[in-house]
Amino acid sequence: MSIYVEVLGISMDEVGNELLKGTLDVLILKIVALEQSHGYAIAQRLQQLSNDFFQVHQGSLYPALHRLEDRGWLQSEWKDSETGRKAKFYLLTRKGRRQLEIEVLNWEKNVRCHSHDS
């Protein structure tokens, strides 16, 4: 199985689910770095960019968004969505951008380590 997570530009071969479980925060930060989004749009983008590999349910997504907001990496504001309904839009903070850079470097380091172990 080969997965290409376009949002990070990283190719992963034969990577186990355990490594992927820790990537949700990074993927959310990266998606929100591209453009502010509401939760449903973030979930759709994750699914689209991962070729349906990541299908994030509300029970995982919204706690992650709140955790990232509590850490100061995201901020949110209520706005009208494309459907005209009010939605909470998330945007990356300066602190979040710094954290994203750290996380991407760590991710790349882990992928390199796992590829050398093979």
Write out the CATH class of domain 2-117.
mainly alpha
Q: Is beta strand 86-92 parallel, antiparallel or unpaired with respect to 10-13?
A: unpaired
What are the tens digits of pLDDT across the range 31-80?
Answer: 999 999 999 999 999 888 888 877 888 888 999 999 999 999 999 999 99
Confidence grade of residue 22 (pLDDT, cut at 50, 70, 90): low
Handedness of CA 17, 40, 11, 102 (dihedral sign): negative
pTM for this model (two decimals):
0.74
Decide if 87 contacts 38 (C-beta within 8 A): yes
Nearest to 91, CA basis, from 26, 4, 30: 30
